[in-house]
């Protein structure tokens, strides 16, 4: 078995285990993800006074920043391709390949943490006409 095949089988096995865990242990999974998202939701830096989201762009409250998306964390830029964000996927894959794989862990971490926010921004921008 080649190293690439071994890596592919390992990634698939981890995805299956995570999917099974998420399916059969949903209450535990929800508690764990709530703690992780609460930790990621801690604001860093000084709060800016008078900063409100533009009402004409998005009429619902903005989601929390940095939500962990496990599937995007596993698949990386491939997740972006699967949901239709091919420009993001191209940029992220280019960064990973041009750095010789040195920045690949950072790209995968970005995918896992910013996937929900990027998808929401894409959906909002798709329905807006400037």
Residues 6+ apart with CB under 8 A from 40: 64, 65, 66, 67, 68, 113
Instruction: Say whether both 19 and 68 belong to one domain.
Output: no
Predicted TM-score (pTM) of this structure: 0.56
Can you give the residue range of the structural domain that contains 112?
Answer: 63-130
Instruction: Say whether both 32 and 90 belong to one domain.
Output: no
The pLDDT tens digits of the residues spanning 61-80 come to: 666 677 888 899 999 999 99
The pLDDT tens digits of the residues spanning 2-20 come to: 877 887 888 888 888 877 7
Instruction: Say whether both 72 and 36 belong to one domain.
Output: no
The pLDDT tens digits of the residues spanning 51-66 come to: 665 555 555 666 667 7
Instruction: Say whether both 129 and 67 belong to one domain.
Output: yes
Instruction: Say whether both 130 and 95 belong to one domain.
Output: yes
9-18, 80-89, 107-116, 121-130: segment of lowest average pLDDT: 121-130
Is residue 47 assigned to a domain? no
């Amino acid at each position: 078995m080649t190293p690439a095949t071994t890596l592919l089988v390992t990634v698939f096995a981890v995805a299956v285990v995570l999917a099974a865990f998420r399916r059969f242990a949903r209450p535990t999974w929800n508690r764990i993800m709530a703690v992780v998202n609460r930790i990621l939701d801690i604001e860093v830096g000084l709060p800016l006074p008078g900063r409100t989201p533009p009402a004409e762009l998005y009429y619902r409250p903005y989601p929390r920043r940095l939500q962990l998306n496990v599937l995007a964390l596993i698949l990386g830029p491939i997740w972006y391709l699967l949901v239709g964000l091919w420009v993001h996927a191209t940029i992220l894959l280019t960064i990973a390949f041009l750095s010789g794989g040195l920045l690949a862990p950072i790209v995968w971490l970005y995918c896992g943490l910013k996937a929900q926010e990027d998808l929401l921004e894409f959906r909002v921008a798709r329905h807006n006409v400037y």
